Structures are given as C-alpha cells and as structure tokens.
Structure 1
Amino acid sequence: MDFSRLKIFMNEMAKSRTPGNAIEIYKDGQKIFEYASGYSDLENNVHLNGDELYFIYSCSKIATAVAGMQLIENGKILVSDPLYDYIPEFRHMMVQCSDNTLKKAEKPITIGDLFSMTSGFSYDCKEAVDKAKKINNDIADTHNVIRCLAETPLNFEPGTRWMYGLSHDILAEVIAVVSGKKFSEYMQKNIFIPLEMKDTTYHCDKSVAERMAEQYVFETNSANTFDIVKAQQYGNSMVGKFIKKEKTNSLVYSEEYDSGGAGIITNVSDYAKLAAALANSGVGINGERILQEKTVDLMKTNRLNRKQMKDFNWKQLKGYGYGFGVRTMMDRAAGGSLSSIGEFGWGGAAGASVWVDTTLNLGIFYVQHCLNPREEYYQPRLRNIIYSCI
C-alpha cells in the first residue's frame, strides 16, 4: 500500500478548499493510515494535531441509523410500523398539493420512511422550532420540536418520493421513546461507550468548544466546477476565500435538542472507530459488537424504487442508491467508482465523509471543518484515490 497520492491530494485540498483536513483508514480492524494536513486555526497559524473536535453535521446520520438498526435487531421496531405508534401526534398528517391546497395523507409515515428519507419532510422546521420555544420557556427541546413538526404539511404522500430532510431527527426521537432514554444517552450507552468513542458528544459546552477546530465557510466567486478544479490543482486562491464562522451548528436548535440528523461532535479517531466496526460486520476494533453481520448487510441494502431514485440525483451520488440512512454503491460504472458494490456511508455539511466497505473490511473517516465543501468535486475523487492506494 502506498498512500503518497492521498497525501498529495489532501495537501492540495488544505491549500485551496479547506484550511485543514484529517483522515483515518482501517482495514481488517487495523489502522493502516492516518494523516492530517493544514490548519485548525488559519489566522493564527495553528496546525492540526489530529485530535481536534468537529461538527460532522449529516455524518451523524450514520450513527443514528445504527441505533435504529439495533432496535430492529431487538424486535423493538419494524420498518412497517406507523410512526404514530410511537409518536401519536403524527397520526393525522396533511400533504401539500401542487396548487398549494392541503389534503389528508392517504397512508401513514412508517419507520421505514424515516430510515430512507421518504417521509415527506424537508429541512423546513422554523415554525415547529418557534412553537416549541413558546411551549418550553424559549427552549427548542427535542420532544417539543418533533411533536410540533407533526403540524407541518408533508411535501408528498409518505413513501412515494425521496427528500433530504428531518427524517432522522424524527427517528432519533423514536429511539428515545422506545428506549426510555434521551437520544444522546442511548447513543452513549449503546454505541459510543462500547466502541470507546470517548470524545464523541452531542453537546458543545465550553470544554468541547475549546478543543474544536475553527469552523470556516468557503466563499467562492465562481460557480464553475472547472475553476474549483484549477484551484485544487494549482492553488489558485482567486476563486474563493475562507471566512471564519462561530463554533455553532445551525441544525441544533438548542442545548436541549438532540439532533439525530446532524448533531454529533467528534474527532477523526473516534468516528473512524464506528466506520471500522461497520466494515468489520458490526464488531469494533476492541472486539465489542454493536450490530450483527446480517443487520449491517440490511443497512446497506437499497430501499429506493425507480421513481424515488430520480429524486436521489446529487452529482456525488452517481452509482449509489439509498439504504437505511446511508448511500450504497449499486453501479460502479455509473459513477466511475473504484469502491466495491455495497460500499456505503454518508457526508456532512462541513466536509466530513464516511466510506464503509464490508467486502474489503475497509472503514474510512475523512474530516474537515469548512462549509460549502463542494462534495461533487472532492468526494468521488477522494474515494477513488483512497481505493487506488490500497
């Protein structure tokens, strides 16, 4: 194995697309590569040391899906169960029609719809958050936000289309209801502690913020992908600049909101352990099992039909379907992918990405802290470079 070209690519990224990045790769339960490039604080010339914490945004969905699969294993939920069995407020849903009128939903949202993002919910939840604040002393807590969300009309009949949105935040509340614990407490007990993910949390207190890499947004003066490619290859800083942002996550609506879709704060070492466990058929590098092998196989099974696949059309997802909270490789030729059929994972708004390959027992976690990361550029390239190195 020779990872020299991966180092070159990450160094180029750290010059032109993100102030810094880090990666860990596991194969057969053993760490085979780790690397960090660039800065955790660009303005003050503070280099990454590999232990920084990050908001990983939607990469959190993978862990939430694992928790949901645990409940399936234990017979606590079925994908065919109506959501209202667990949260009654979702019994009488309305659907927004094309002429802006409302009609009663013909069928209920199911647990399976939450896993596969076919519930009809988008990320529009401002009204629900505002209502929850009025209920609970200006605090948008998970319990009230999710139940207020049930008053929001669906964008389509449940199960008919695919739409990226709050489905996994709702799934997190189902996990809380079924387990009788706060979602974050369930995750600690059943995933993070068993895998020895000691630096992973949902809450950004002062001690966490102090360890966090500075967060940036990449502002570009060009929408042309070729310009971004040139910047990547030649370090042309004229196509954009890094703007430092506050260490906040806009998808976590209060300190009392456990976001199953985007709430995790972690470091490269911790989340790579989760990727390694999934690659090893559910067994962590410390020997602890979090899922059965058959459950991991089910998790990466495509759930979308032909009509839903038309909605699942992001450029970086060519060749992929969508399973239980994860993209899953179905057609290597369509996306020019060097990964295996069944490779699965997801990414996050600031550039974090997971790849899991049970065929090769390969678990990969890449992280950066720069919003507007242009996933369509870096994700397919990074994936292929990694596979070419192994």
Structure 2
Amino acid sequence: MALQEKLQKELDAECADSNRIPGAILFLADRKGDTLAHVASGVRSVETKEPMAADQLHWIASCTKLITAIACMQLVEQGKLKLDEPVESIVPELGQAMVDDGSGQLREPKTKVTLTHLLTHTAGQSYEFFNPQTCDYFKKIGAKPFSSSKKTITAPLVSEPGTKWEYGTSIDWVSQIIERVSGTDLDSYFKKHIFEPLGIKSMTTKPETGIAGGVKARLAGLHQRGKDGNISATPHLIQLDESKIEVQYGGAGLFANAAEYCQVLIALLNHGTHPKTKAQILKPTSVDELFKNRLPENLVADLDRPFEAAIPEISNRFISLEGIAKQWSYGGQTTPEGVANGRSSKSAWWAGIANHYWFMDMETGVCGMIQCQILPFFDPYVVP
C-alpha cells in the first residue's frame, strides 16, 4: 500500500468519530522537496460539518517560533544583530523588566537579557497557561492569553536571566527586536525575506489583510475537549480583529497550512536553500547555528520538568518527550541521542498550543507537520 493511501486510511479512522479528532491534516516531504504524503480528514468545524480541506489554514501558534528564529538569524548574518549582546538598547522596556522569583517581591535582574537568552527560553519569561505565578499576574491585570495586547508580554520575569529554562513569551520579544531593527512590521518582514522567496502565499500574522480574501474564510475552527472527553466548537484564542492587534506575536501569531509551512523545513533540510525555488533563506552556517544544542549542562534537566496545567482549558500537564534525552536550540527541541520511533540524533521539532506539530530530520532528510486545532494541548488522542 502506498504511503499516501496508508496514511489517508489511518487518518480517516482517527477522525471517524468527531469526539476523538474532529479534523486533521498531515503533510510529509523529503529533502528534494517532493511530497511524500498530503492527507486531510474529518471536518473543518464540528459546527459547520464542512470537510477539512488539505490546504485549510490553521492558527499554528508556537510553530511560529521557528520562523521568527530564522528571521533573527538573517539579521545576525547581516551584522544587524548580535546574539550575545544585551538587547535593551533595542527594546528598552525589556531592560526595565523586574524579577519575581516567587517571593512576591520585585527586584532588578543581575544579568542583562541577550538574544541568546530570548531564543533559548532562558530570559526568565513564562506563559500564563504553564506557570501559576504568571497566570495569577495576568488575572490581576486583566490580560487574556493570545489577545495580542502588549500586556501579554510584559509580565515580571520568573527567574534570573540565564539561570533557568522556562518556556514562555521570549520569542515575542525577538519579533519586537526584528521589527525595530528592520524598520518594518513582522508580517511584512516574513513575507519579503522568507515566504515570497519560497513561493508561500497563505502564511500571515494578519487575519484580515495578510492574504487575499483574508484568513477567516479559510480558517479551520478551534475545538475544545471538555472534562467529559467530548469535543465542541470554541472561539479562537488568537485575536482575529486586526484593529485590536497591538503585538504581532513572533512566538504564536501565524496562520498557515501544513504544505506551505513545510516549504520552510525543506529549505532548512537543504542547509538554507530550497531545492525547487533555489531561494536561500539562510546560509549553511546559520542553519547549523539554528539547530545547535544551546543549553548548558546545568539547565538541561529543566527540559524534564513538567509543563503545569495552570489553565487546564488551554493545556494538559505533560512532560515533553518523557524519558528521552533532549536539548534546546534556537530553532526548537532537539534529540541528541535520537528516538526509538525513528527520529535521528539530528532531528528537531516543536509544536503549537492547538495540537500542531512539526518535525525535521537532517539525517533522514524528511520533514512534516500535523494540524488538528484542538484544545487543550497534548491531547491524548493526538499524542497517545
């Protein structure tokens, strides 16, 4: 049985019951840029029952982080950014951030935040749905997750920069830096320097004006798994009213379909140059830097710390790749010893909060993405 047929059959089985997985898309490609499989199944929304299209747009949330890291490395190549220099000259407000390490007392950090801190999630920022302390803070100031307000990226640091790996909003600050150094908004930068060279037409952070016809007409619905296990439609977390977007999230703001997202991965598999369009988005040395293991030995254990379910409707409690050796790079999580399921020691991956997952493997030359649009994250049917 051909891979396409096999995966279509398997995905159809997973999506046959809308209370299991209402709808999903899977895309796989090789280093040559050839599609290995592209399947869709289920419905775009349990409300409309419209079939899920293979090119359906999804809010890919933290899958955005890789694209922002690429943009950052482009500016490093050009000498416009330095990875290990303090960033407060570019974003003074980040230089004013205070630390609340759990005592309830704010203090000035002893260490100045650098791009490396931000790209590796060691700057001290956190997400409110993973960190109870930050969750309490956002409740006090009335900031809602993914509302695209400036409030959502200005919480006190939860640790001294450079002393702890804490997954959070740091990549949203990287995008602020990109905008100020490049003199253009994030979406325009992405389009000119990454998307257009790769022939990508439907990836954007702007839900109304970013693409022809707007995102909403093509956007898959978001779904919520209730405590009883049943699926229901739920409003999107990300801000869809463009007039209310104060911050274009470099950490969570993109809408995309799987096939186009994987064009970026294909370019990376080829050391920065896409085999079909011949466009170079990064130099080979920058791709190496993008996926180099970055955490010092004393911080690696933080990757085995559970992600807490501070907001259970948004994420389940989980440990990433539990029991498997892992590291963190500018581009995402890496598996330096490989994984029994076939990932090599040269693979990288990450995910988005609505159960979207991408991976790429430099050794096998394969990349892929699965899109589901289900909350909370780490859904038991998507990640069995």
Contact preservation (8 Å) 2:327, 2:335: yes
Give, in whole Å, the separation in 2 of the partners of 1:339 and 1:105.
Answer: 39
TM-score normalised by L of structure 1: 0.81
Residue number in structure 1 paired with 2:255: 265
| Cα displacement string for residues 212-238 of structure 1 (whole angstroms, at most 9, x for unaligned residues) | 1121112243xxxxxxxxxxxxxxxxx
2:190 is the counterpart of 1:187: yes
Residue number in structure 2 paired with 1:309: 300
Give, in whole Å, the separation in 1 of the partners of 2:116 and 2:185.
Answer: 21
After TM superposition, give the deviation of residue 301 of structure 1 in Å. 1.1
* Cα distance change on mapping 1:376 and 1:303 into 2, 3 Å: farther
Contact preservation (8 Å) 2:290, 2:329: yes
| Cα displacement string for residues 191-232 of structure 1 (whole angstroms, at most 9, x for unaligned residues) | 1111111011112227321111121112243xxxxxxxxxxx
Residue number in structure 1 paired with 2:14: 13
Residue number in structure 1 paired with 2:67: 63
After TM superposition, give the deviation of residue 10 of structure 1 in Å. 2.4
Q: Where do 5+ consecutive residues of structure 1 fail to align?
A: 134-139, 222-239, 382-390
Give, in whole Å, the separation in 2 of the partners of 1:370 and 1:183.
Answer: 26
2:204 is the counterpart of 1:201: yes
After TM superposition, give the deviation of residue 37 of structure 1 in Å. 1.3
| Cα displacement string for residues 113-142 of structure 1 (whole angstroms, at most 9, x for unaligned residues) | 010000001124797899899xxxxxx877
Contact preservation (8 Å) 1:29, 1:280: no
2:270 is the counterpart of 1:280: yes
Q: Which amino acid aligns with 1:170?
A: W
TM-score normalised by L of structure 2: 0.82
> Residue 99 of structure 2 is aligned with which of 95, 98, 101?
95
Give, in whole Å, the separation in 2 of the partners of 1:21 and 1:214.
Answer: 11
Q: Which amino acid aligns with 1:319?
A: A
Give, in whole Å, the separation in 2 of the partners of 1:161 and 1:190.
Answer: 32
2:255 is the counterpart of 1:298: no
After TM superposition, give the deviation of residue 93 of structure 1 in Å. 3.8
Give, in whole Å, the separation in 2 of the partners of 1:316 and 1:11.
Answer: 27
For residues 177-256 of structure 1, the aligned pairs below 5 Å read 177-205=180-208, 207-221=214-228, 240-249=229-238, 254-256=244-246
Q: Which amino acid aligns with 1:346?
A: W
Give, in whole Å, the separation in 2 of the partners of 1:129 and 1:189.
Answer: 38
* Cα distance change on mapping 1:213 and 1:94 into 2, 3 Å: closer
Give, in whole Å, the separation in 1 of the partners of 2:33 and 2:84.
Answer: 34
After TM superposition, give the deviation of residue 156 of structure 1 in Å. 0.9
- SS of the residue 2:226 aligns to: strand
2:340 is the counterpart of 1:336: yes
Residue number in structure 2 paired with 1:369: 373
| Cα displacement string for residues 349-377 of structure 1 (whole angstroms, at most 9, x for unaligned residues) | 11111111122222212212112242576
- SS of the residue 1:85 aligns to: coil
For residues 21-32 of structure 1, the aligned pairs below 5 Å read 21-27=24-30, 28-32=32-36
2:333 is the counterpart of 1:323: no
Q: Which amino acid aligns with 1:70?
A: Q
After TM superposition, give the deviation of residue 7 of structure 1 in Å. 3.5
Contact preservation (8 Å) 1:17, 1:218: no
Contact preservation (8 Å) 2:21, 2:382: no
- SS of the residue 2:368 aligns to: strand
Give, in whole Å, the separation in 2 of the partners of 1:86 and 1:361.
Answer: 37
| Cα displacement string for residues 43-92 of structure 1 (whole angstroms, at most 9, x for unaligned residues) | 44321221211101111111111111111211211211102021122334
Counting aligned pairs with the same residue, the percent is 27
Give, in whole Å, the separation in 1 of the partners of 2:56 and 2:293.
Answer: 34
Give, in whole Å, the separation in 1 of the partners of 2:56 and 2:360.
Answer: 22
* 55-64 or 38-47, which deviates more: 38-47
Which structure has more helix as a fraction of its residues?
1
Residue number in structure 2 paired with 1:51: 55
After TM superposition, give the deviation of residue 252 of structure 1 in Å. 9.4
Give, in whole Å, the separation in 2 of the partners of 1:18 and 1:280.
Answer: 33
Give, in whole Å, the separation in 2 of the partners of 1:266 and 1:79.
Answer: 28
- SS of the residue 1:81 aligns to: coil
Q: Where do 5+ consecutive residues of structure 2 fail to align?
A: 129-133, 305-317
